[in-house]
C-alpha cells in the first residue's frame, strides 16, 4: 500500500495524468516572466547582497508550500524582483545576450522531455539533431567532411577539451613529458586556457603568453620568436590558442598568419571563437574569421553571439578521429558492440556523461529564424559598437583604448587636469572609474563591466543587444561621467586624495 503522502508526492511527477497541471504550471510561470520582462524599467534593481541574503536565508527548505503559485510568489521576492535582466537595453556589462524566443521554446521542450545526449537509447533523434548541428557549424567554419565535434557546457569546457586532445596528439607524436609541453596564447587570451593547462597536469610554466599589437591582437612575429625559442629549448608546443574575439577587446588574432606558423612548427591550432562565432552567420563580416578553417579545433559559444540561453556551446575539430582521445568504454553505456552495429552515441566524444540536449535551442532558432536573421542581429550590435566608439572617442571626457572589430568598448573617464598631478592623478582616475561603475550598478540605471589595461582601471561596455540605441550608450556615458566627477569633487577629498595619499573606498 502507498501512503496518502506518497500519492500527493506523485502528483508532482510529469506523466499522462498530470499533463494538464504541467500545462497550467508552465503557463503561469511564463506569464510571470513575461510580466517581469514587460515591466523592467532598468536592468537591475541595484540590490546589495547584504539585503538579499536574509530573504533567502529565511526560506525554510524543510517546509514546502505545496503550491506552484505560492512558490512562484516567493520566487518574485527572492529572485525575479532583483535578477539582472540581459534583455534590457542598458545592460552593457558582460558577454550575456538577450535570448531569442525560438530558443526558449527549445529550452522548454528539452527540459520536459529530458533527453540525455550521451547515448542513442537516452535520446534517439536528439543524437541525430545534435550531429546535424555539428555538421552545420563545421560547414560554416569551412571544415571538410572529416570534421566532427560535440556540444559542451560552455567555452571553458570546450577549451579544456581542445587542449586535452592537443596534449594527447602531442604526446602520441613527440612522446614528451608533461613538463616539456607548452601552450602559446596572447596576453589578451581567455583565462580558461591557463585553467585548462592546470587541470591537464601541465607544469606551472606551461602557458606562454606572447605580445599583442596596438589593437590587442596576437603579434605573429612574437609568436614566431616564441615557437623558435621553444624548439631550441627542446620544448614541445602542444597548442597555439588564437582568440577570435577577445573577451575584453573583441580583437581577432590574425588567423591566416598564425595558421602558417603553426603549420611550419607542426603545432596544433586551437581557435577560441567563444565570442566571435557570431561572425559565422554574418553576411557582412564573415571574412573577419578567414583562416579559422585551418584550425585543428574551434570553440564556439552559441550562448554569447547566437542569442541562445545558457548553456549552448560546442567544440569542433577538423579531424573527427582525434575525439577518440577522450573516449572511454563502459559496459553499461557504450559497449563496443553498439558501435559495431552502427548505433550512434555522443558519449564517446564528450567529457560529460549525462548531458543536456542544448542543441535543440539552436535547432529551433535556425528552423524558425534561419542563420541570416541571427547574423543580422549580431551585425547590428557590431555596427552599434562602432558608432559608440566614434561617440566616446570624440568626447574629451573619455579615453578609449581601441576600436573593437566586434562589440566591446573599453574606456575610462578622465578627470579634468588629472594628468598634471602625476601618479596621484592617475590613481584618482582609477578610483573615480571604479566608483562610477559601482555607483551606476547600485542605481540600477545601467550595468557596465570593468577591466584593467596596463595596470589601470577601465570601464567596459559589451554590446550584444540590438535594442540598445546610440542614445542609450550616450546616456550611460553621461551617467558614468556624472558619478566619476562626483567622486572627484565630493568623495576623493574625504578619502585623502587632496593630500595625494591613496585610500581605497
Ligand atoms: C566567455 C569566453 C570563454 C569562456 O566561455 P564560457 O561559456 O563562459 O565558459 C572562453 N573564451 C573566450 C574568448 C570567452 O569570451
Do residues 253 and 276 lie in contact, with contact meaning Cβ atoms separated by under 8 Å? no
Residue holding cell 588564437? Answer: 242
Do residues 206 and 182 lie in contact, with contact meaning Cβ atoms separated by under 8 Å? yes
Main-chain phi, psi angles of 119, to 5 degrees: -135, 160
Band (290; pLDDT cuts 50, 70, 90): very high
Do residues 393 and 399 lie in contact, with contact meaning Cβ atoms separated by under 8 Å? no
Average pLDDT in the 214-238 region? 97
The Cα 317–Cα 270 span in angstroms is 9
Q: Cα dihedral angle (478, 480, 482, 485), rounded to 10 degrees? A: -130
Q: How far is the CA of 326 from the centre of ligand 1 (A)?
A: 21
Q: How far is the CA of 388 from the centre of ligand 1 (A)?
A: 24
DSSP secondary structure letter of residue 15: S
Mean pLDDT of the chain: 94
Going from N- to C-terminal start, the domains of the chain cover 104-368, 373-504
Mutate to test the pocket of ligand 1, among 218, 304, 410, 451 (most ligand atoms within 8 A of CB): 304
Instruction: From 154, 122, 135, 115, select the one nearest 356 (Cα to Cα).
Output: 115
Residue 46 confidence (pLDDT) above 60? yes
For 23, half-sphere exposure in the C-beta direction (CA atoms, 13 angstrom radius) is 5
Name the residue with the closest Cα to ligand 1, atom 6: 155
Q: What is the pLDDT of residue 173?
A: 80
Residue 499 confidence (pLDDT) above 80? no
Which atom of ligand 1 sits closest to the CA of residue 246?
Answer: 13
Residue 70 confidence (pLDDT) above 50? yes
Residue holding cell 522548454? Answer: 108
Residue 501 confidence (pLDDT) above 70? no
Band (503; pLDDT cuts 50, 70, 90): very low
- % residues pLDDT > 90 (the chain): 87
Dump pLDDT digits (tens) for 461-484: 999 999 999 999 999 999 999 999
Long-range contacts of 406-409 (CB under 8 A, 24+ apart): 406/245, 406/250, 406/252, 406/275, 406/276, 406/382, 407/250, 407/381, 407/382, 407/462, 407/463, 407/464, 408/248, 408/249, 408/250, 408/460, 408/461, 408/462, 408/463, 409/385, 409/460, 409/461, 409/463
Dump pLDDT digits (tens) for 394-409: 999 999 999 999 999 9
Which atom of ligand 1 sits closest to the CA of residue 156?
Answer: 9
DSSP conformation letters of 266-333? T--EEEEETTGGGGGG-TTTGGGGTTGGG-SEEEEEHHHHS-PPS--EEEEESSGGGGGGG----TTT
The Cα 373–Cα 460 span in angstroms is 27
Count Cβ atoms below 10 Å from residue 419 Cβ, excluding itself: 11
DSSP secondary structure letter of residue 488: I
Q: Is 46 left (phi over 0), alpha (psi -120 to 50) or beta?
A: left
CATH code for the part of the protein at 104-368: 3.40.640.10
Do residues 153 and 313 lie in contact, with contact meaning Cβ atoms separated by under 8 Å? yes
Band (339; pLDDT cuts 50, 70, 90): confident
Average pLDDT in the 212-226 region? 97
Do residues 334 and 344 lie in contact, with contact meaning Cβ atoms separated by under 8 Å? no
Residue 392 confidence (pLDDT) above 50? yes
For 271, counting Cβ atoms within 10 Å of its Cβ (0-12 exposed, 13-18 middle, 19+ buried), the class is buried
Ligand 1 surroundings by CB, under 6 angstroms: 95, 154-156, 159, 190, 192, 243, 245, 247, 272, 274-275, 301, 313
Count Cβ atoms below 10 Å from residue 335 Cβ, excluding itself: 11
Name the residue with the closest Cα to ligand 1, atom 3: 155
Name the residue with the closest Cα to ligand 1, atom 4: 155
Q: How far is the CA of 245 from the centre of ligand 1 (A)?
A: 10
Band (497; pLDDT cuts 50, 70, 90): low
The Cα 225–Cα 184 span in angstroms is 11
Q: How far is the CA of 97 from the centre of ligand 1 (A)?
A: 13
Which atom of ligand 1 sits closest to the CA of residue 301?
Answer: 7
Mutate to test the pocket of ligand 1, among 197, 274, 305, 404 (most ligand atoms within 8 A of CB): 274
Dump pLDDT digits (tens) for 187-210: 999 999 999 999 999 989 999 999
How many contiguous H segments (helices) and E segments (strands) does the chain have?
17, 11
Instruction: Assess whether the region 104-368 and the region 373-504 belong to the same CATH fold.
Output: no
Q: What is the pLDDT of residue 174?
A: 74
Average pLDDT in the 264-281 region? 98
Mutate to test the pocket of ligand 1, among 152, 154, 303, 351 (most ligand atoms within 8 A of CB): 154
Residue 420 confidence (pLDDT) above 90? no
Q: What is the pLDDT of residue 186?
A: 98
Name the residue with the closest Cα to ligand 1, atom 15: 247
Band (337; pLDDT cuts 50, 70, 90): confident
Backbone CA torsion sign across 243, 245, 248, 251: positive
- Least confident range from 18-22, 43-47, 272-276, 331-335: namely 331-335
395's CB contacts (< 8 A; 6+ apart) are: 477
Q: Is 422 left (phi over 0), alpha (psi -120 to 50) or beta?
A: left
420 or 101, which is more confident?
101
The Cα 420–Cα 443 span in angstroms is 32
Q: How far is the CA of 249 from the centre of ligand 1 (A)?
A: 13
Mutate to test the pocket of ligand 1, among 156, 193, 358, 449 (most ligand atoms within 8 A of CB): 156
Q: What is the pLDDT of residue 251?
A: 98
Dump pLDDT digits (tens) for 259-268: 999 999 999 9
CATH code for the part of the protein at 373-504: 3.90.1150.10
Q: How far is the CA of 275 from the centre of ligand 1 (A)?
A: 7
Average pLDDT in the 310-318 region? 98
Q: Is 489 left (phi over 0), alpha (psi -120 to 50) or beta?
A: alpha
Residue holding cell 536528439? Answer: 126
Q: How far is CA 494 from CA 415, 484, 487, 500, 501, in A?
A: 17, 15, 10, 12, 11
- % residues pLDDT > 70 (the chain): 97
Residue 498 confidence (pLDDT) above 70? no
Q: What is the pLDDT of residue 4?
A: 54
Q: How far is the CA of 60 from the centre of ligand 1 (A)?
A: 36
What angle, 0 to 180 degrees and rounded to 10, lies between the N-to-C axes of helices 125-141 and 359-368? 70
Q: How far is the CA of 449 from the centre of ligand 1 (A)?
A: 15
Q: What is the pLDDT of residue 3?
A: 55
Which atom of ligand 1 sits closest to the CA of residue 159?
Answer: 10
Amino acid at each position: 500500500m502507498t501512503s496518502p503522502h506518497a500519492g500527493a508526492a506523485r502528483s508532482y511527477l510529469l506523466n499522462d495524468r498530470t499533463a494538464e497541471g504541467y500545462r497550467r504550471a508552465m503557463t503561469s510561470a511564463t506569464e510571470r516572466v513575461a510580466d517581469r520582462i514587460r515591466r523592467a524599467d532598468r536592468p537591475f534593481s541595484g540590490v546589495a547582497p547584504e539585503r538579499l541574503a536574509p530573504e533567502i536565508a529565511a526560506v525554510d527548505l524543510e517546509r514546502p508550500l505545496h503550491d506552484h503559485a505560492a512558490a512562484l510568489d516567493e520566487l518574485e521576492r527572492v529572485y525575479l524582483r532583483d535578477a539582472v535582466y540581459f534583455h534590457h537595453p542598458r545592460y552593457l556589462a558582460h558577454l550575456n545576450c538577450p535570448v531569442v524566443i525560438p530558443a526558449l521554446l527549445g529550452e522548454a521542450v528539452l527540459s520536459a522531455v529530458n533527453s540525455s545526449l550521451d547515448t542513442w537509447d537516452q535520446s534517439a533523434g536528439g543524437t541525430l539533431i545534435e550531429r546535424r548541428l555539428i555538421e552545420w557549424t563545421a560547414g560554416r567554419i569551412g571544415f571538410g567532411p572529416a570534421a566532427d565535434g560535440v556540444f559542451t557546457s560552455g567555452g571553458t569546457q570546450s577549451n579544456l577539451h581542445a587542449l586535452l586532445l592537443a596534449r594527447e596528439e602531442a604526446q602520441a607524436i613527440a612522446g614528451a613529458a608533461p613538463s616539456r609541453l607548452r601552450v602559446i596564447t596572447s596576453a589578451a587570451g581567455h583565462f580558461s586556457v591557463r585553467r585548462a593547462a592546470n587541470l591537464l597536469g601541465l607544469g606551472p610554466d606551461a602557458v606562454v603568453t606572447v605580445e599583442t599589437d596596438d589593437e590587442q591582437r596576437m603579434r605573429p612575429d612574437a609568436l614566431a620568436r616564441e615557437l623558435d625559442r621553444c624548439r631550441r629549448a627542446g620544448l614541445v608546443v602542444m597548442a597555439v590558442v588564437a582568440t577570435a574575439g577577445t573577451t575584453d577587446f573583441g580583437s581577432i588574432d590574425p588567423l591566416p598568419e598564425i595558421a602558417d606558423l603553426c603549420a611550419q612548427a607542426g603545432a596544433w591550432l586551437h581557435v577560441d571563437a567563444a565570442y566571435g562565432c557570431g561572425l559565422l552567420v554574418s553576411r557582412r563580416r564573415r571574412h573577419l574569421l578567414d583562416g579559422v578553417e585551418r584550425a585543428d579545433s574551434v570553440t564556439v559559444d552559441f550562448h554569447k553571439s547566437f542569442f541562445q540561453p545558457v548553456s549552448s556551446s560546442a567544440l569542433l575539430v577538423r579531424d573527427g578521429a582525434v575525439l577518440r582521445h577522450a573516449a572511454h568504454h563502459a559496459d553499461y553505456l557504450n559497449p563496443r558492440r553498439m558501435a559495431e552495429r552502427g548505433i550512434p552515441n555522443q558519449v564517446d566524444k564528450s567529457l560529460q556523461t549525462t548531458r543536456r540536449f542544448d542543441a535543440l535551442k539552436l535547432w529551433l532558432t535556425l528552423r524558425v529564424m534561419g542563420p541570416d536573421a541571427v547574423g543580422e542581429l549580431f551585425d547590428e550590435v557590431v555596427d552599434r559598437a562602432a558608432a559608440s566608439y566614434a561617440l566616446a572617442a570624440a568626447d574629451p571626457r573619455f579615453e578609449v583604448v581601441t576600436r573593437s572589430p566586434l562589440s566591446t568598448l573599453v574606456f575610462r573617464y578622465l578627470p579634468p587636469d588629472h594628468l598634471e598631478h602625476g601618479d596621484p592623478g592617475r590613481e584618482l582616475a582609477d578610483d573615480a572609474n571604479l566608483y562610477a561603475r559601482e555607483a551606476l550598478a547600485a542605481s540600477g540605471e545601467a550595468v557596465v563591466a570593468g577591466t584593467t589595461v596596463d595596470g589601470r582601471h577601465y570601464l567596459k561596455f559589451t554590446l550584444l543587444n540590438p535594442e540598445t540605441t546610440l542614445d542609450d550608450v550616450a546616456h550611460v556615458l553621461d551617467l558614468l561621467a556624472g558619478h566619476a566627477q562626483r567622486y572627484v569633487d565630493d568623495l576623493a577629498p574625504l578619502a585623502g586624495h587632496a593630500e595625494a595619499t591613496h585610500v581605497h573606498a
